[in-house]
Structure 1
Amino acid sequence: MQIQNPVLPGFNSDPSIIRVEDTYYIATSTFEWYPGVRIHASKDMVHWNLVTNVLDRLELLDMKGNPSSGGIWAPDLSYADGKFWLIYTDVKITDGAFKDMTNYLTTAENIEGPWSAPIRVNGVGFDASLFHDEDGRKYLVQQTWDHREYHHPFDGITLTEFDTDTMKLKPETARTIFEGTDVKLVEGPHLYKINGEYYLFAAEGGTVFTHQEVVARSKSLDEKSFVVEPDGPFLTNFDTPYSYLQKQGHGALVDTPGGEWYYASLTARPWNHDTESSTDPRGWSTLGRETSIQKVEWDEAGWPRVVGGHGGQTFVEAPKDAILTEAPADHSQHDEFTDAKLDMNWNTLRVPFSDEFGSTGDGSLKLIGRGSLVNYHDLSLIARRWQAFYFDAETKVKFDPFSYQSMAGLTNYYNHSHWSWIFITKNDDGQSVIEVAENKGGQRNGTYTSYLKDDAIVIPEGTEYVWFKTKVRKESYTYEYSFNGTDWTEVPVVLDAAVLSDDYVVQSYGGFFTGAYVGLAAVDYSGYDTTAEFDYFDYKELGDKQLEDGSYSWEASESRFG
């Protein structure tokens, strides 16, 4: 078997990988999306299944009011003493000098829970991980934040002993063990003890095209005792602009039962418009930061090296002792909302789905119109990740808007300031109409554009349901509507998919860490709670590559442009 990267396509970043007996688990960041921390499982590293979303109740996570790309940064999953340990960070501030945050710990005997009530650990810095030493002692290893304008904000990697009797840190033991290289922005630390030496893996360069992973080692955990791997970095795509995979770096190391080694890393697959240079801009990552896996070998001096070079490979040899794992062929989803609980692939923003949103079950999803799509507090939206460059998504909705202040429909969404949607609303003549609007950068909350304005499509009298569809075709996407579910009309508006990419968002907003979503939303900022009823939702992946005959292929290339 071969591992084909990325193994977790679409917004699955900052992977923390472990092995428990014959099963591998990867925990990934979720930022402001709820529930927090996705965990996938596999026995072969090739095929992965989503098995749980850990932070699924307010006791564990309440992000109401969190900024976009705040919330859960770089969770760390480990296994020791017969149970799983999860360290996670809730970041409350993303812009400016401060990064107010709290690190928490929760544990469970089973990966699917129940997970214990959270223990507040500290707020020194984000990207915290828990190291279980061979002598039974435990340490929190973390990026350290410095708000002072005359210091670099990334103030090295701090190690602090954790007391398992009190379940608290010992602040008096805190020390900086690694300051990073001159690339700066050192973060994402994971510590391992291998053959009697401590190995520290850490990310640098920011989670953009300059991203990299470095390795340092030491015979002790003394202050500033770690020495950087020669001939590094360990992993980067900064100098491999034509590679299919870009931005590789932040991640974690794992061994197999047979003694092989692998490294799970975040990655991205940017694309360019035909009118752009292939290297500047390097591209637009609409699927966000994904997860890749690279094979690792150890050189004669005991340093880890990525097989194939520090740029990594799209196709990687699977473990020799891999156990075939069954998993769906793609991530297509059809939901008729017959269950009282949302499917695991659905996410909400900042808080869990509740009666305040509406209800699901009995064959429909009812969303109560609340705040606009720029709202940080009260937003009736459920959405799922884009996980392929080419897909169709559609829904069927019944909605009787009160006024132009009430809207409901199908959205493609990145964050509060970058989104679009096709929706039902009221015009000034009191008619129910279909409109397409987009919100994109230019200011903090984006710039809003109504594309149809006075030409909004009037919904015929007596129409009970309207069908909406979006067709995403890598560089662009469109919307369609139907009044019978069979005959579709395309709205003559072609939208640039780049607007829903990390690389576009960073131009106007400091939090650019997620990826594009497609979903369902209801807005009624008049406060009259107008409710939309969605009959079904269908997300159908068409592949990652469009062929000349118009069909779609899942084949990946080692080159971005091959």
Structure 2
Amino acid sequence: MTMIKNPIIRGFNPDPSIIRVEDDYYVVTSTFEWFPGYQIHHSKDLVHWQLINRPLDRVSQLDMAGIPDSCGVWAPCLTHYEGVFYLLYTNVRRFDSPWKDTPNYVVTATDINGPWSEPVYLNSSGFDSSFFHDDDGKTWLVNMIVDHRHDKFFGGIVLQQYCKDTNKLVGDVEYIFEGTERGRTEGPHLYKRNGYYYLLTAEGGTGYEHCMTLARSRTITGPYEVHPENPIISALEQPSAYLQRTGHGDIVETQNGDWYAVFLTGRPLTERGNCITGRETAIEKMEWRDDDWLYLACGGRQARCKVEAPNLPEHAFPELAERLDFDDETIDINFQAPRIPMTADWVNLAQRPGFMRLYGRESLSSCFNQSLVARRVQAHHIETATCVEFEPDNFQQMAGLTCYYNTYYFHYLYIHGDDLGGDKSKKFLNLISVDRVDYDHPLAEPIDITGAERVYLKADFDGAQLQYFYALKQGEWIKVGPVLDGSRLSDEHASNFTHRFHAAFTGAFVGMACQDLSGQGIHADFDWFEYREF
């Protein structure tokens, strides 16, 4: 029997929404502050998945300049109705306050690969908006509602009709579900089967109490009764299980009548520890029983490492190359940038063929104009390396290799110049480790690399153990500094401070960066980039 190995979409890929269009399956996942917005993966057998598209690819759809870490685009909903794909999203502007600024939009396309339309504004009453297309032709918007009074925050689930002809919400807002005792009710999706409306929600927060809850009603506005064995998916009772934080998700029916659920999960480095790969997407087989409730087919609530695949033709995709030589005209789809588009004025493959040229801009702590191109860490042990040519004039000009979580948490091995007014021919290698407000410079003195035209940089990222290396001749690696704490690059560490509503919902990235804090816009040329998993 063919088995599906979990997680099916590894690395930071949370809040999955799934659809089937004939023989094709599509899952869209959250990207938060990373641009372009959202990731769409494609499969034909639920076993093999390929990243094919990021639909929110222009500022007119998604303006995130200056937003706080872990804001931006939250849980998406992808539906398909009468030949049109509908993608709902929230562009969260502010989260660390009693008030949450959560405008919701919808874009449409007739092809999953786009082009996607300009956005239509829906509402701002909460986040995790979704569409339900009823069998009478009506379309309904469902979202959680933010209640800022008395720190209540999670205010339940509301419903309103959407008019596809006018692209507007119409009629009254209906309050349909207050949630269960698990609390923090969000991520609503509606379905209809055997005369029941089913409301799937995420509860318990996105940490280790996360879970998936199901309720049903004979009428769309409720009242909704809760599943007798609620929650239907949860890892709370099994702290040593491989898949943890299981919750927020969606369900789909195959061509053969089988049912599967996709949901976010986490793989901690230690029991209930830090998850450097962030919240990922997993899958489980489900079954409808005689009581018209949905259950895990394997029984219980705990998702498994391996799941029975549906009886569909195998459809594998080519393996991704470990090394990119920047010979293509477009930037590899696995790369993203924080908050802003990757435009030719700061990241360029054409000006020096065979190289990625980055123009130095703001620091790695900026929420505006960074020059950082990075990809997800998708395994607990990876190795990444690059070769850079860079001729800085002073210490304000930097370029190198970063292991990055957000603007407050990163490690950075970088080349820089001499003091202002110093010898412009001098060039040094340095290391910085940033842990929110603590800035650690692990090297007693910068490493003098004056005269080196090409510098090779490498990071061996093995769970909580992160070791940097450099070389002036390819392959002759020399350790740089001590072993650093890689587990800092995780939701668990980033959310572990006094502010109750701090948002930390992403995962570790590795990438190339260039800064010019003098504002002169010096550039660095990266010859290649490697990413290898063990």
Asked if Structure 1 and Structure 2 have the same fold, meaning a TM-score greater than 0.5 normalized by the shorter chain, the answer is: yes
SS at match of 1:503: helix
Matched, 1:152 2:152: yes
Instruction: Report if the CA contact (8 A) 1:396-1:466 is conserved.
Output: yes
1:473 to partner: Cα distance = 1.1
Task: Report the Cα distance in structure 1 between the residues aligned to 2:515 and 2:450, rounded to whole angstroms.
Answer: 22
CA pair 351-195 structure 1, distance change in 2 beyond 3 A: same
The superposition leaves residues 485-519 of structure 1 with CA deviations (integer Å, 9 ceiling, x where unpaired) of 12110113101111001111111371211100000
RMSD: 1.3
8 A Cα contact 2:431 2:481, kept in partner: no
Displacement of 1:26: 0.2
Partner residue in 1 for 2:386? 395
1:325 aligned counterpart, secondary structure:
coil
Q: Which residue of 1 aligns with 2:471?
A: 482
Contact kept, 8 Å, 1:48 with 1:325, in 2: the verdict is no
Residues 332 and 541, structure 1, Cα contact 8 Å, conserved in 2: no
1:148-184: CA deviation from partner (whole Å, max 9, x where unpaired): 2x261111000010011211001x4211111001221
Distance 1:185 1:102 in 2: 19
CA contact 2:40–2:54 (8 Å) conserved in 1: yes
* Letter of the structure 2 residue corresponding to residue 269 of structure 1: R
Q: State the alpha-carbon separation in 1 of the partners of residues 364 and 321 from structure 2.
A: 25
Tell me which residue corresponds to 2:139. Answer: 138
1:26 aligns with 2:18: no
Question: Match of 1:247, SS?
Answer: coil
Q: Residue 213 of structure 1 corresponds to which residue in structure 2?
A: 212
For the 8 Å contact 1:26–1:39, the answer to whether it is kept is: yes
Residue in structure 2 matched with residue 261 of structure 1 by the alignment: 259
CA shift digits 1:334-366 (9 cap, x unpaired) = 221222321110001111111332312311111
2:249–2:264 CA contact under 8 A, matched in 1: yes
Specify the alignment match of 2:347 in structure 1.
358
Q: Which residue in the other structure is 1:9 paired with?
A: 10
Check if 1:232 corresponds to 2:230. yes
Distance in 2 of aligned mates of 1:356 and 1:175: 47
Q: 1:467 aligns with which of 456, 466, 474?
A: 456
1:301 aligns with 2:300: no
Q: How far apart, CA to CA, are the structure 1 residues paired with 2:365 and 2:328?
A: 29
Q: Give the corresponding residue for 1:314.
A: 305
Q: Distance in 2 between matches of 1:501 and 1:27?
A: 22
Contact 1:340 1:359 in 2 (8 A): no
Residue of 247, 250, 259 corresponding to 1:249: 247
Q: For residues 482-501 of structure 1, what are the structure 2 equivalents within 5 Å?
A: 482-501=471-490
Q: Distance in 1 between matches of 2:236 and 2:321?
A: 33
CA distance in 1, matches of 2:105, 2:97: 23
Structure 1 residue 307, shift from structure 2 partner = 2.3
Encode CA deviations 1:223-260: one digit per residue, 9 max, x unaligned: x5111001221111111111100001100010011111
1:428-443 equivalent positions in 2, closer than 5 A:
428=419, 430=423, 431-441=426-436
Q: Tell me if the contact between 2:340 and 2:369 (Cα under 8 Å) persists in the aligned partners.
A: no
State the alpha-carbon separation in 1 of the partners of residues 315 and 344 from structure 2: 37
Alignment counterpart, residue 529 of structure 1, candidates 521, 526, 534: 521
**TM-aligned CA deviation for residue 195 of structure 1:** 1.2
- The one-letter amino acid of 2:442's match is Y
Distance in 2 of aligned mates of 1:358 and 1:167: 37
1:184-239 deviations in Å (ceiling 9; x for gaps) = 110000000011110000001100001011000000022x5111001221111111
C-alpha distance in structure 2 between counterparts of 1:140 and 1:529, whole Å: 46
Range that drifts further, 207-216 or 475-484 = 475-484
Give the Cα–Cα distance (whole angstroms) in 1 for the partners of residues 234 and 93 of structure 2: 29
Q: Which residue of 1 aligns with 2:282?
A: 292
Match of 2:117 in 1: 116
Is this contact kept in 1: 2:269–2:380, CA < 8 A? no
What does residue 540 of structure 1 align with?
Answer: 532
1:62 equivalent to 2:63? Answer: yes
* 1:332 Cα deviation after fit: 5.0
Residue 99 of structure 1, CA deviation? 1.3
| Worse-superposed segment, 286-295 or 357-366 | 357-366
- Give the distance between the partners of 1:218 and 1:137, measured in 2 at CA: 17
Secondary structure of the corresponding residue to residue 319 of structure 1:
coil
Residue of structure 1 in register with 2:201 after alignment: 202
Give the match for residue 36 of structure 2: 35
| Corresponding residue for residue 560 of structure 1 | none
2:181 is paired with a residue of what secondary structure?
coil
Name 1:548's counterpart in structure 2. none
Shift of 1:328: 3.8
Aligned-partner Cα distance in 2 for 1:77–1:255: 15
Normalising by structure 2, report the TM-score.
0.96
Mapped partners of 1:402, 1:72: distance in 2:
38
Cα deviations across residues 265-316 of structure 1 (Å, max 9, x unaligned)? 00000012xxxxx4xxx11100000000011012221110112220111110
Q: Amino acid of the residue matched to residue 55 of structure 1?
A: L
Shift in Å at residue 450 of structure 1? 1.4
Give 3-state SS (helix, strand or coil) of 1:492's partner: strand
Partners in 1 of 2:229 and 2:85 — Cα distance?
35
Q: CA separation in 2, counterparts of 1:483 and 1:310?
A: 53
Cross-structure match for 1:343: 332
State the partner residue of 2:509: 517
Distance in 2 separating the partners of 1:43 and 1:6: 17
Amino acid at match of 1:136: G
Give distance in 1, aligned partners of 2:329 and 2:359: 16
Q: The residue matched to 1:498 in structure 2 has which SS?
A: helix
Q: Kindly tell me: are residues 256 and 97 of structure 1, through their superposed partners in 2, closer, same or farther at Cα, counting changes over 3 Å? A: same
2: CA distance, partners of 1:482 / 1:298: 58
Q: Output one character per residue of 1:364-420: Cα deviation in whole Å (capped at 9) or x when no partner.
A: 111111111000011000000001111211111111112111110000000000001
- Distance in 1, matches of 2:129 and 2:322, equals 34
Q: Secondary structure at the match of 1:14?
A: coil
Q: Helix, strand or coil: the match of 1:54?
A: coil
How far, CA to CA, are the matches of 2:450 and 2:45 in structure 1?
54
In the aligned structure 1, how far is the partner of 2:189 from the partner of 2:318?
31
Q: Secondary structure at the match of 1:526?
A: coil
Counterpart for residue 447 of structure 2: 457
